Structure 1
Amino acid sequence: MRSLCSLSLLLIFPLSALAQTAPPSTSANDGESEIVVLGTGLPLAPGTPAYGSSVIDHERLTDEASDRVENVLKDVAGFQQFRRSDSRSANPSAQGVTLRALGGNASSRTLVLLDGVPLADPFFGYIPFNALSGDRLSGARITRGGGSGPFGAGAVAGTVELVSATRANLPVYTGSAFYGSNDAMSVAGSVSPDLGGGYATLSGRFERGDGFFTTPVNQRVPATVRAGYRDWSVDLRAVAPIDAQTELQFRGLSFGDNRTLRFKGADSSSEGEDASIRLIHRGGWQVDALAYVQARNFSNKVISSTNFRLTLDQRNTPSTGIGGKIEVRPPVGPDHVMRIGVDARLADGELYEDAYNVAGLVMTRRNAGGKTSTAGLFVEDDWTIGKLILTGGVRADRWTITNGFFRERNATGSLTTSQSYPDRDGVEATGRAGALFNVSNAVALRVAGYSGFRLPTLNELYRPFVVFPITTKANAALGLEKLRGFEGGIDLTPARGVKISITAFYNRLEDAIANVTIDTITRQRQNVDAIVAKGIEVTAGVTHGQVSLDASYTFSDSVVHGSGPSAGLNGFAPSQSPRHAASATFGWVPRTNWLLSGTVRYVGKQFEDDLQTDVLPDALTVDGVARVGITKHVALVVRGENLFNETVVTRNQAGSIDLGTPRTLWVGVRLN
């Protein structure tokens, strides 16, 4: 923590000095000034729409009933975490993100970026959503297809690009305070002063709640408790122009997250300190260079569901992530946008855990961990030929899995097991290509094909876990996941304010990592032959005056192909993968600072396990938000989650059930 704070101070002082002396960020273009938005990256390449994407704006990110970024992202049907719970009542390590029903996995198969920096935890691969706040973001772009340019290793199920709020989205000061069901409260605020030609933002958020009972009434015991939570985050971001075409962006983030799940004493925590610095140059030779460091930790206590005592204390899981990229766009002519770059990510982490017997004494102490890395070179080009845009690129990545080990000691400290796993490395080539044809102002056709890969996380390789009574074993021999896919679609704008997009896709994820059942109480992470997902996605948006409607639907026919140890899964649907998902949000803004909004979400039936024995029923939820402006800058806000109190089953293991968020009401004020 101190080292990251020191890095933050060393970086922020020169940024402040630059901001005091730098001129406004504008660039000359044929004698005219071209307006540049400070704090953003390089402009999107013209071929980006060929891969299909959905955009969520700043207003939607700040006006969601739960006030949680991960739930706003569910506006794009097909977005899901490992379980249906959000970041208040799920185990943090289960917050992996995937798209297109490519199989439930606690690690992210989707690449999630914030201002170009990967957010995934270096050890587990989950996304720390409690460290994110919608009012700190200007928007989100969700691309459901695989493949990516920078940091392409990991984008096997799409990419989520989060962009920090810019000066246009940042009043000088903002604040909010809410009180909700189950004695919950949330406070947040930020100050965003100008610094010469740039600006800085210091923001913070704290929330807590007694939580709800995730256990159904008929399964509760004296040890059953509510899913209480307590989390906080502090974020510092500064943007300073160096000259008319160049700027520096700095971010420092610190967060802490504590939760209790199901039984008294079943506490989990996660914490982190992140720092990044980014250089953007928008001249003839455009440059996007960034470097980042992440320090994370996680702990978790497992309580027995038979004697309700501590059975496993995963007391310490420190990890570090270091990475960066340099992307250059040379001036190759008005019809081409070329991107050439290199990027790298390194992850280092280990776990320390103690197993207890029924008498409450330590039986075994375990320590395991290792390192992984990827380093890639990518080249992409977008070629505009009248109404046709061709786009394509290739990547070459060298990957390593090294220093893997597992050690076990008995209660007296004597070493009983010591394993060192062989180092592995290789080179993986991937690519993507697409075409966008603008038939008219109302019709655009697109087609794309892509490949990608994902390295197993340190968690999958070395850390077993227990969700009683099931123990899931790690597997240090796991191989890479490799995706091959293609899609085609049409984008329609039949009238002003009306947009419709339809996409058909086919994705094949080879050597997919799945939790494979060994016996009634044991599973192991293994590579299955493939998961094949094909389906249709539909998005639509209508805006007419003060009224808007945005909707999304996906049908995913996802099937496991297995042989050998996974032959019994052949033809089954992968776990945690619904065939149908839909979302629709209606909004009415009768006047400035007023809003009435309602969201309906549907998620279809899915299976808890790989053998399709335990079912999670479908669920339909309705949320609502009402904002009434008291003054121009102060509003009263009422929010409601799951207004009709739909029963949402998030876990079902042989009849042992966990539930998702019930009806939850909030009232508060917002200052902006």
Structure 2
Amino acid sequence: MRPIVPLAVIAAGIATPAFAAEEDQAQQIVVTGEGLAATPAAPAYDVQQIERDRLLSAASGRIDDALSAAAGVQQFRRSDSRSSNPSAQGITLRALGGNATSRTLVLLDGVPMADPFFGYIPLSAIAPERLGRVSVIRGGGSGAFGAGAVAGTIAMTSAGPAQLGLLTGSALVNDRGESELSGTLAPRLGSGFAVVSGRWDRGQGFWTTPASQRVPASTRARFDSWSTSLRAVAPLTPDIELQARVAAFQDNRTLRFKGADTGMNGQDASLRLVGRGAWAFDALAYLQTRDFYNTVISATTFLPTLDQRKTPSTGAGAKFELRPPVGGGHVLRLGADWRSAEGRTIEDTYRLGKVSGHRRAGGTNSDVGFYLEDDWTAGPLVLTAGARADRWSVRNGFYEVTNLAGAIQPASTTYADRAGWEGSFRGGALLHATRAIDLRGSVYTGLRQPTLNELYRQFTVFPITTLANANLRNEKLFGFEGGVDLRPLEGVTLGLTAFDNEVRHAIANVTIDATTRQRQNVDAVHARGIEASASYTASRFSLAGSLSYTDAHVRAPGQPLDGKRPSQTPRWAASATASWQPAERWRLALTLRHVGLQYEDDLQSDSLAPATTLDAFAQVPLAGPFSLVLRGENLTDEVIVTRNSGSTQDLGTPRTIWAGLRIDMR
């Protein structure tokens, strides 16, 4: 791992003077630790909130489980973040998939979280207990860092002392002897605060291989991961606050066969300056260093065939947004952002268990964007319109093969640099028709660059090898939607959205022959569907659910996948949670989740059967600040097929029971 101590020292040094604010100043200053408030037209887009209570009651304790409260949020595969290959942890919405790269922009306190090389999300590094809420914004288009939001945006906001208390922590163990240990300290320091948190998960894992397919080399999906973060927030003036965050994580897993080890690690740092005066602004800069490794074991000889021993990458970015006081019912946003991703993969190839050669591949992608957006409130009607211009570039791409003596082989190549401008826009309207009815509609376009992984790295998931493609074009989105939000009775909310989204030049894993696929631009992935949500709250009882139906197909004239559903995308997805809090610190919850039929590949030759699971969560106060926590995953022990390729399968989480203690000191 690369050290981040210098960045941490700088962040702490900047923040420390503000913590020394005098007591009379502290009475006038409110520090939130958040970005600027959402604009008036934000609800014009299909937004679902996942509140902290729901995040904390995820039966697995994992963020990918918590995000499933919004139906249609999915990773490329059904495996959770303990038993999947990290490179498959791409997040998408509205069945706009095609491969494992995220088509959803995932932000943590305004910072993009996608891996700079692969585009996956480091899910094990995002602990639900550190978050205050999550906003799931379906559909394309966004302000800052909007290039990449072709399927939507997931905006995560960290929790502060008001939500965390001074000290929280938990220690749990499950029926397989696996453990989860986490803790958070959140003291108030003068007019600001700090949050120090850590988490460690480890265990032997469950069998992902069906009993009938196990061989002596088969093994459980072992995992061992930790993450830690330090976040400091301090006021510089009554209207301006400084936010600093540093984090580090590591995650090691073993998948399917002994020796098939895979993992990731990373270090992140960011500084954010937020001004909430008449001239509101949000300035942000971040730096990320990441690495990934993966050993591929043959399913016939059970010997190594590839050791992707390092994939070092660096991500950097910045943004500045200004909201000048234009008046007249307008909220104007002007901004610019910049992102850069540089990385390479360093691999050893094997023949009969011995090193036979070496491969290296990588490059640099960057994007500079300029955006403006205006919300105009005129009585009950809010109109919004915005535009982005992005200057993208693909540079320094290479693929190099060398033999054991280090001599470069003929397959090696250096790719030409490319660059260009792309424009995108979004607009919408929100009508507060009555106190109980809101009508909304929007139209948008979007852009996503191919990742370094898609451009330059090939990989194998036996028996299929997927080739890279350095000539991939940018994906472009065009979509529109309309919806209604109802509040017919006190405590009851209902939402319904109909949408039509099309990703042109979509990048898909296209079948070449029985053992080969390649990443290619197809004409489009077209998705139409509906999304519904409902919630009911009465005293200490609540019921919340969401439903997604998506009719998606690939448009690729003249190719076998034309008209077929994108791989790994279900038509139906649903989630519902009933919870009861009979008294303070009590919480009982049941979550029912359904994922419909999916297909393993682009030709729909292998299917993944529908899966319906039931989860449970219970927190019961004991003495003092201590509570008993019980969690149950997949209580009905539903068979969840996560991979089905020819004659081999992988399975998802079986029934798992957790028990432990939680401490909560206010």
Under TM normalisation by the shorter chain, which class is it? over 0.9
Partner of 1:349: 343
Distance apart, 1:16 and its partner CA: 1.6
d(CA) in 1 for partners of 2:63, 2:591:
15
d(CA) in 2 for partners of 1:595, 1:290:
37
Equivalent residue letter for 1:367: R
Partner of 2:133: 139
* Counterpart among 486, 493, 497 of residue 499 in structure 1: 493
Partner of 1:214: 208
CA contact (8 A) 1:22 1:243 kept: no
d(CA) in 2 for partners of 1:20, 1:98:
44
For residues 433 and 26 of structure 1, do their structure 2 counterparts lie closer, same or farther at Cα, with a shift above 3 Å needed? farther
Q: Deviations over 1:328-347 (max 9, x none)?
A: 00001151110000001000
Distance apart, 1:14 and its partner CA: 2.3
CA contact (8 A) 2:161 2:187 kept: no
CA contact (8 A) 2:567 2:602 kept: yes
- Classify the secondary structure of the residue corresponding to 1:204: strand
Partner of 2:359: 366
For residues 437 and 24 of structure 1, do their structure 2 counterparts lie closer, same or farther at Cα, with a shift above 3 Å needed? farther
Partner of 1:446: 440
CA contact (8 A) 1:269 1:298 kept: yes
* Counterpart among 554, 558, 566 of residue 574 in structure 1: 566
Q: Does 2:640 align with 1:660? A: no
Partner of 2:474: 480
Equivalent residue letter for 1:653: S
Q: Does 2:637 align with 1:645? A: yes
d(CA) in 1 for partners of 2:312, 2:91:
22
Q: Deviations over 1:55-112 (max 9, x none)?
A: 0111111111101111111111110000001110000000000000112421100000
For residues 649 and 283 of structure 1, do their structure 2 counterparts lie closer, same or farther at Cα, with a shift above 3 Å needed? same
Q: Does 2:527 align with 1:533? A: yes
For residues 513 and 199 of structure 1, do their structure 2 counterparts lie closer, same or farther at Cα, with a shift above 3 Å needed? same
Partner of 2:617: 625
Distance apart, 1:633 and its partner CA: 2.2
CA contact (8 A) 1:101 1:577 kept: yes
Q: Does 2:377 align with 1:384? A: yes
Listed as ranges, the gaps of 5+ residues in structure 1 are 28-32
Q: Deviations over 1:188-209 (max 9, x none)?
A: 1111111111010111000101
- Classify the secondary structure of the residue corresponding to 2:560: helix
CA contact (8 A) 1:250 1:278 kept: yes
Map residues 263-282 of structure 1 onto 2, 5 A cutoff.
263-282=257-276
Q: Does 2:556 align with 1:559? A: no
* Counterpart among 608, 613, 620 of residue 616 in structure 1: 608
- Classify the secondary structure of the residue corresponding to 1:14: helix
Distance apart, 1:291 and its partner CA: 0.1
CA contact (8 A) 1:503 1:536 kept: yes
CA RMSD of aligned residues (A): 1.2
Partner of 1:14: 14
d(CA) in 2 for partners of 1:296, 1:22:
40
Distance apart, 1:167 and its partner CA: 2.4
For residues 322 and 606 of structure 1, do their structure 2 counterparts lie closer, same or farther at Cα, with a shift above 3 Å needed? same
Distance apart, 1:558 and its partner CA: 0.1
Partner of 1:245: 239
d(CA) in 1 for partners of 2:31, 2:579:
28
Partner of 1:509: 503
Partner of 1:5: 5
d(CA) in 1 for partners of 2:173, 2:311:
33
* Counterpart among 391, 404, 410 of residue 398 in structure 1: 391
Distance apart, 1:24 and its partner CA: 7.7
Partner of 2:588: 596
Partner of 1:168: 162
- Classify the secondary structure of the residue corresponding to 1:75: coil
d(CA) in 2 for partners of 1:646, 1:244:
54
Equivalent residue letter for 2:251: D
Partner of 1:410: 403
- Classify the secondary structure of the residue corresponding to 1:570: coil
TM-score when scaled to structure 1?
0.97
Equivalent residue letter for 2:252: N
Q: Deviations over 1:586-608 (max 9, x none)?
A: 00111111111000000000100
Equivalent residue letter for 1:619: A
Equivalent residue letter for 1:382: D
Distance apart, 1:632 and its partner CA: 5.1
d(CA) in 2 for partners of 1:272, 1:72:
22
State, as a whole percentage, how many aligned pairs show the same letter.
54
CA contact (8 A) 1:444 1:491 kept: yes
Map residues 43-54 of structure 1 onto 2, 5 A cutoff.
43-54=37-48
d(CA) in 2 for partners of 1:243, 1:274:
27
Equivalent residue letter for 1:244: P
Q: Deviations over 1:408-437 (max 9, x none)?
A: 011222211320000000100000000000
TM-score when scaled to structure 2?
0.98
Equivalent residue letter for 1:7: L
d(CA) in 1 for partners of 2:2, 2:232:
20
| Segments of 4+ moved more than 3 angstroms | 22-27
Q: Does 2:215 align with 1:236? A: no
Distance apart, 1:214 and its partner CA: 0.2
Partner of 1:671: 663
CA contact (8 A) 2:31 2:192 kept: no
- Classify the secondary structure of the residue corresponding to 2:274: strand
CA contact (8 A) 2:31 2:241 kept: no
CA contact (8 A) 1:26 1:245 kept: no
d(CA) in 2 for partners of 1:325, 1:372:
17
* Counterpart among 309, 313, 316 of residue 322 in structure 1: 316
Equivalent residue letter for 2:268: D
* Counterpart among 575, 581, 589 of residue 583 in structure 1: 575
d(CA) in 1 for partners of 2:322, 2:584:
42
Q: Does 2:178 align with 1:184? A: yes
Distance apart, 1:631 and its partner CA: 3.4
- Classify the secondary structure of the residue corresponding to 2:454: helix
- Classify the secondary structure of the residue corresponding to 1:66: coil
Q: Does 2:598 align with 1:606? A: yes
d(CA) in 2 for partners of 1:109, 1:76:
16
Partner of 2:113: 119
Equivalent residue letter for 1:356: Y
Equivalent residue letter for 1:214: T
CA contact (8 A) 2:50 2:133 kept: yes
Distance apart, 1:570 and its partner CA: 1.1
Distance apart, 1:545 and its partner CA: 1.0
CA contact (8 A) 2:574 2:594 kept: yes
- Classify the secondary structure of the residue corresponding to 1:21: coil
Listed as ranges, the gaps of 5+ residues in structure 2 are none
CA contact (8 A) 1:348 1:370 kept: yes
CA contact (8 A) 1:22 1:242 kept: no
For residues 344 and 664 of structure 1, do their structure 2 counterparts lie closer, same or farther at Cα, with a shift above 3 Å needed? same
d(CA) in 1 for partners of 2:171, 2:541:
27
CA contact (8 A) 1:302 1:312 kept: yes
- Classify the secondary structure of the residue corresponding to 1:575: coil
Distance apart, 1:546 and its partner CA: 1.3
d(CA) in 1 for partners of 2:22, 2:473:
50
d(CA) in 2 for partners of 1:111, 1:631:
43
Give the number of equivalent residue pairs. 663
